Amino acid sequence: MTGRRLIALFSLLALVLLFSAGRNATVSQAAPAAGHHFVRVAAADIQAAAQVGLNPVRAFDYGAFQWLELTDADFTRLAASGAAYTEVLDAGYVHVPGYRFDPLLDGEPTVTPNLQAGDAGAGFRLVQLAGPTNDAWLARLEANGLRVLQYYPHNSFLVWGDAAAAARAANLEFVRWQGAFHPAYKINSDLQGRTGLINNVDIMFYNDGDPRATLATIAQLGGNVVQYYPSQPDKMFFDAIVQLDADAVESIAQMNTVLWLGYASPEAGLEDEMSSQILAGNYTGGVPFTGYYDWINDVGYDGSGVIWGIIDTGVDYDHPDLGPHIVSGYSYPGACNPAGQPGSDCSGGGHGTHVAGIVGGDATAGYTDASGFLYGLGVAPGYSIFASNSLSAPAWPPTGGWQEHSKNAVIGGAIGGNNSWTTGEGTQHGYQASERTHDIMVRDGNFDTTSVAEPFIEVFSAGNSGFSGLTSPKEGKNLIVIASSVNYRAGNIENISSFSSRGPAVDGRWVPTVAAPGEEIASARNDLGGSCSTAIPGTNNLYAFCSGTSMAAPHASGAITLSTEWWRTFNNGADPSPAMAKALLVNGAVDMGTPDIPNINEGWGRINTDNIVNNPLPTEYYDQEMIFGNTGEQWTLSVGVADLNQPLKITLAWSDAPGAVGANPALVNNLDLTVINGGNTYHGNVFANGWSATGGSADTINNLENVYVQNPQGSVTIVVDAINISGDGVPYNGDTTDQDFALICNNCVLFPDFTLTAAPSSRTICTPNNAYYNVSVGSLLGFSDPVSLSVSGLPGGAASNFSVNPVTPPGSSMMTIGNTGGAAPGNYTLTITGMAPTSTHTTDVNLSVYNAAPGAPTLIGPVGVDQPLVPTFTWNAASQSAIYLLVVKNIGTGEVRYAVTPDTSYTFGSPLDPYAIHAWSVRAYNPCGTGSFAQFGFFRTQEIPPILLVDDDDNNPDVRASYTDVLDGLGLLYDVWDTANTDNEPDVATLLQYDVVIWFTGDEFGGAAGPGGATEGALGTYLDAGNCLFISSQDYLYDRGLTAFMSNYLGLASGANDSGNYTSVTGQGTVYGGLGPYTLGYPFTDYSDIFNPAANAELAFIGNNGNGAAIAKDSGVYKTTFWGYPFEALPAGDRGVVMQTTLSWCGQ
């Protein structure tokens, strides 16, 4: 159905305001009255929504759902009606690196003139569609002269074309907006603030037919091209690794073919039977026992016939546990290359040998520890090794690019590879060029064969940065990322190692994927030394202990190798897809200790190989059998629960199309998992206490979704919906927008039965009106016995009727609830029962009954003056209210905000205007009518103070008062942002409202002290706008390491953690000279640091030992002072003058 016909349908039904479904989740819109709302309405619910009397601005039919763009007024009516829908809050926003904007409401971002796009010739542009992707729309863009290159969130595409083609596209009915892709969007935050020569800059550029011309221009602008290589198999984009002066960054960004520039580290970072037994679940009370070879012999799989890549420093051919298993390898240029030993572990390596032994060393030497565990017995001791030694080579990224890792391994017959390393680009890197490339490599590991997809399973270590976050490129969507759990030799196996990098991804995805043992792992030792080279006594120098997520990842690699041998036995020798490999690990994993899964520590739990290859429960597997070609398509499976005493576990995973560099969120093709069981509907990844919970909303950011039902009932309906198909998820099949998936249903069985569902799940009526529900009876495996229907739980006096009864499946019946005139108002749960000769099933629906229009609520607050900019509006309940409409108006500007909620309080997600008078009121709705507005209330918001105080301590102790008391004593106004000991930190828009930011961390350490990577970028923008920053933190350097922000903005050349040992400090330099000495009294353990200022900064305080305790920097644009000891350690009586000195310097 076209958009025009859909709009006509809604207009035809625009008669009266009808309630035709149950109460809806809270929705809001903080935009002006002219703002639009985007909603998705399931096909089964579209009639009810249309009866509300809507006149959509745009409406599009996607089959399984309709997409509506509504005005504020229409959206308020829809929300108040109770009709079932999903509001897609971000649909109007375009996300490009560093910017988020609604082009129609906000306009394009303001960027400096030298970073604005020109109109000359062909170049990049952005086109935002009016709804989710439609293949025909993309074809029309191409027909109008725009080459479609890459999806950007949300509903937007990067295109290549000239201004005339863009102007033509702007007039197409499905185009919401088109605009320039400014050079400002191209420069990654990790280049901001850098000066001088930058050794490794990754420049991603478009192949306009002459890539050498782009390289030549880069050279003319001062860039020394070290190497370049294709970014993807079709060579539409290339990456060039360039030495470049910081002053040339903007000039490079102005090149029309350049898409992105970011920092690329020139150096890589490296990240017993006992642990294998833990992985196999062979432990009692947390204590593993010996006998892993017995388990392998019992299940019948040891990885035989499976080749796995060790992408590392190489593998020691001379080690007796590994040499006989090496079947092939590749030595990278500049790495050692002994004759007949490609991929050999080099002198100074060792890391790769240890990793290879964990995957599947066979413990040939026979050495054991005191408990009898074999040293060096890996997870899959029958596997074959493809050895590679890129981490021993001088070039990084490897010569030819990251894809050389997968290409060489694929050519050598490997199905996947272990990557216990980081690209070196830092933590909380987000989705950048290296993450994008690795996502492509999973789908097609060999870029040289451009018409054949050769999948490659990529296992990565999560990183050893603790709460500082994941290391790069672990935020790739298609990777399997492994956290480190504690080995029994090191402690409680239910714990995650303290060093293991925690998630989430910058865009909020659940990463790491799963966990495996990574502490005190005994494995093969390289006889040439290097990493993991301290031999275990009594093992003839063959084995060594090592710890890190580097040791956890190869446990996962071994588990996949075992699983692949098992999978081949019942799939005609075929390998599992990378998506299925991930699903197998996740579905078989076991929850560890606390917190419950999913979480940012362990992901979905610790790997349990026995649950994969020796699973006693019937399980259904679907590995990329269905391909969605268009948005709105749907796949449904109906099964029964095999054992009602065991949980039902369903996992959906897909290898997503590559996202845009800098995309947030990174997801391109959005699939939704919905499971219906026992009358309950479960959405993927909606969990509570480790199990699926009803309610919530569909996941829009992860390409891995789970539904785990702890106490399932008999029949199960599994639905996978293609919500938005915007990228090429299945390369080389003739469709540039498509997606397949892998699905596991554990504890499922296909047997003849019927399913029972009812829609909608709830109705709301005003007496004496009837309520209608469509009852569907489905057939499993040809079930055709008649099913008799009945319903219980009706309101007093009400009656029921079924249009068809009994129903022969598959079939349906309309259930009518009538005679409601005498029904008492209230909410009722109706239980529909379907009874057949062999089985009985039930499903519940809700009915809300009203018999009069609602009364008027009474307002509680806010009221008066100096109200917070983000107040909570509260009111007393109105009689017979179904839902409330909150209206807030800025008297001065006329801006109106609306919120629709079933609750009696509401808080908007964004601040109101400062120092402005606002009027507000609330009215109630139900299907009998509309209540009166409450008497209007008035309040005035507070002014924005000049200072933002960021409370980043752990409240143990809470040191905030050391700052607020001083600021209060100075008579200064300020706001407080409490990070709650997390990286929930102010964004750039918030920061820019203040002249000064004071940031303290107290005794916080272990990962979250000081600003995270994303916030460092925001602070850089804030400072470049001419502002001032004061950071007092003895553990920012400890937790984050010496970041580019510390170097470039704070003026820190180098530092020594926990080495200060100051008993007093004395002011120095132009800011603090003449202050002190002050005797320090620490309210917690002294872990102060030594700071050495850069040439463009100065010492601010020195300690009694003469070492630098604090530094200050005046760039001429911004000012910063960074203290390696706590401000709160100063004597209380002296804090005022020091703070006043700081703020006066800052211009306050």
Question: Tokens in use for 1008?
Answer: 């979250």
Bridge partners, 799 (sequence order): 818
Domain covering 755-850 assigned CATH 2.30.29.30 in the classification: no
The CA-atom distances, in angstroms, between 1143 and each of 946, 967, 1016, 1028, 1146 are: 10, 10, 21, 9, 5
Q: Where are the beta strands (DSSP E) in 877-927?
A: 883-890, 896-901, 905-907, 917-926
- CATH fold label, 269-291+320-586: Rossmann fold (3.40.50)
pLDDT at 425: 87
Element (H, E) at 439: helix 433-443
CATH of 94-185, one of 1.10.10.60, 3.30.70.80, 3.20.20.70, 3.40.50.620: 3.30.70.80
C-beta neighbour count of 720 within 10 angstroms: 23
**CB-based contacts of 670: which residues, under 8 Å, 6+ apart?**
700, 722, 723, 724
pLDDT at 25: 30
In the chain, CATH 2.60.40.10 covers: 755-850, 858-941
CATH class of 617-750: mainly beta
d(CA 1061, CA 1064) in angstroms, rounded, equals 9
Left if phi > 0, otherwise alpha if psi is -120 to 50, otherwise beta: which for 664?
beta
pLDDT at 611: 95
Pick from 84, 83, 107, 85: which is nearest to 94 by CA?
A: 107
pLDDT at 1006: 57
Pick from 626, 680, 683: which is nearest to 650 by CA?
A: 683
d(CA 553, CA 523) in angstroms, rounded, equals 13
- CATH fold label, 947-1145: Rossmann fold (3.40.50)
- Average pLDDT for consecutive 10-residue bins of the chain (1148 residues)? 38 29 30 64 79 86 91 83 84 91 89 86 95 95 95 96 92 94 92 86 94 95 93 94 94 96 81 66 75 83 96 95 96 94 92 96 89 91 96 92 96 97 88 96 93 95 88 96 88 86 91 94 87 88 90 96 96 96 97 88 95 93 96 91 94 98 95 93 95 93 97 91 96 93 95 86 92 91 92 95 96 96 94 92 91 96 90 95 94 92 87 92 94 96 91 89 95 88 83 94 78 89 95 90 91 90 95 96 92 96 96 97 97 96 96
Q: Which CATH architecture has domain 189-263?
A: 2-Layer Sandwich (3.30)
pLDDT at 44: 77
Residues in the chain, overall count:
1148
- CATH fold label, 858-941: Immunoglobulin-like (2.60.40)
The amino acid sitting at 576 is P
d(CA 774, CA 803) in angstroms, rounded, equals 10
Question: What backbone torsions phi and psi does residue 438 show, to the nearest 5 degrees?
Answer: -65, -30
Q: What is the DSSP string of 308-332?
A: EEEESS-B-TT-TTTGGGEEEEEPP
C-beta neighbour count of 625 within 10 angstroms: 11
pLDDT at 98: 86
Q: What angle do CA 211, 216, 219 make, to 5 degrees?
A: 130
pLDDT at 1012: 86
